[in-house]
């Protein structure tokens, strides 16, 4: 939720929406170029005729802002201050970015939401007139990340890196791509076990075929990290269980049948 300070406008509110988990290969198009603040913002006050009707411009419904997936999961926040020019019919004539959040995707989300707003126009001296509103959009994160941000994806791939659409063949290393968000330094532990449900129903008792650890740091950009994985030795046919632990917590467990 945000408060706004607008010239001749009542306080406004917006909803920041946390969206669902981003796809591994999703790309966000570049944001529109920032527009300069409209001229005349600091012009002297107009002369009000008290005999005529006056009404401030008002947003009809709260502005619904979609929090970009990667920024939410990478724990990036900020404030984008917009200047919205409102027409005499209540339509949005222009949106300018007065102060950037210093993150292009946050700016773009705020810009897109403002373009969709509808207004009750300002009435000045009895006539509907264009007006402007300054809207600071605060992207504020919850204290705890959503479950979707903690999710780890595992996709089997072949030797060329393409998706493995059939069970992986025996006599070759097992290859996979692992996707996860890395908002802070973390320890990744990968374990491939030979599954044997007949011997035990406890996966922790399955023998480990290959195990490795990796120390991960946040990437330079707010995006999903994709890691390549391959066993050092070819695998024999049979059932396996591939486990991914993050800082000791089991985040993913994938059953794999090698044929």
Q: For 45-76, what is each residue's pLDDT tens digit?
A: 789 999 999 999 999 988 999 999 999 999 99
- Rounded to the nearest angstrom, the gap between the alpha carbon of residue 255 and the centroid of all alpha carbons in its chain is 29
pTM to 2 decimal places: 0.76
Report the pLDDT value the prediction gives residue 197, as an integer from 0 to 100. Answer: 79
Where b means 16+ CB within 10 Å and e means fewer, 158-177 reads: eeeeeebeeebeeeeebbbb
Whose structure tokens read 């075929």?
209
The low-confidence residues of the chain, meaning pLDDT below 70, are 1-44
- Rounded to the nearest angstrom, the gap between the alpha carbon of residue 122 and the centroid of all alpha carbons in its chain is 35
Task: Supply the DSSP string of 31-99, one letter for each residue.
Answer: PPPPPPPPTTTTPPPPPP-TTS--B-BEESS-EEEEEPHHHHHTT--EEEEEEEEE-TTS-EEEEEEEE
Distance, in Å, from the CA atom of 43 to the CA atom of 46, rounded to the nearest integer, reads 9
Go through the domains of the chain in sequence order and give each one's CATH number: 14-139 (3.30.2420.10), 152-258 (2.70.50.60)
Closest CA to 151 of 217, 83, 250: 250
CB 179 within 8 A of CB 148: no
Distance, in Å, from the CA atom of 168 to the CA atom of 172, rounded to the nearest integer, reads 8
Question: 229: burial class by Cβ within 10 Å (0-12, 13-18, 19+)?
Answer: buried
SS3 content of the chain, % helix, strand, coil (to 5): 10, 40, 50
Report the pLDDT value the prediction gives residue 29, as an integer from 0 to 100. Answer: 35
Report the pLDDT value the prediction gives residue 41, as an integer from 0 to 100. Answer: 56
């Amino acid at each position: 939720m945000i408060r706004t300070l607008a010239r001749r406008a009542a306080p406004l509110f917006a909803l920041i929406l946390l969206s669902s988990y981003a796809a591994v290969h999703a790309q966000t198009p570049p944001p529109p170029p920032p527009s300069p603040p409209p001229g005349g913002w600091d012009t002297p006050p107009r002369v009000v005729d008290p005999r005529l009707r006056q009404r401030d411009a008002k947003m009809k419904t709260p502005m619904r802002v979609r929090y970009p997936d990667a920024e939410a999961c990478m724990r990036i926040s900020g404030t984008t201050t917009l200047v919205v020019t409102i027409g005499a019919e209540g339509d949005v004539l222009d949106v300018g970015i007065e102060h950037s959040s210093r993150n292009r995707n946050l700016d773009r989300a705020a810009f897109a939401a403002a373009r969709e707003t509808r207004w009750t126009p300002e009435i000045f001296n009895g006539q509907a007139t264009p007006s402007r509103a300054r809207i600071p959009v605060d992207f504020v994160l919850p204290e705890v990340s959503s479950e979707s941000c903690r999710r780890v994806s595992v996709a089997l791939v072949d030797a060329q890196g393409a998706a493995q659409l059939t069970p992986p063949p025996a006599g070759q290393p097992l290859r996979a791509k692992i996707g996860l968000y890395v908002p802070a330094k973390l320890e990744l532990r990968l374990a491939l076990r030979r599954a044997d449900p007949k011997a035990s129903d406890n996966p922790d008792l399955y023998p480990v075929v290959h195990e490795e650890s990796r120390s991960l740091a946040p990437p330079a950009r707010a995006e999903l990290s994709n890691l390549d994985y391959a066993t050092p030795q070819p695998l024999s046919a049979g059932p396996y269980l591939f486990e991914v632990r993050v800082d000791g917590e089991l985040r993913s467990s994938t059953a794999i049948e090698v044929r």
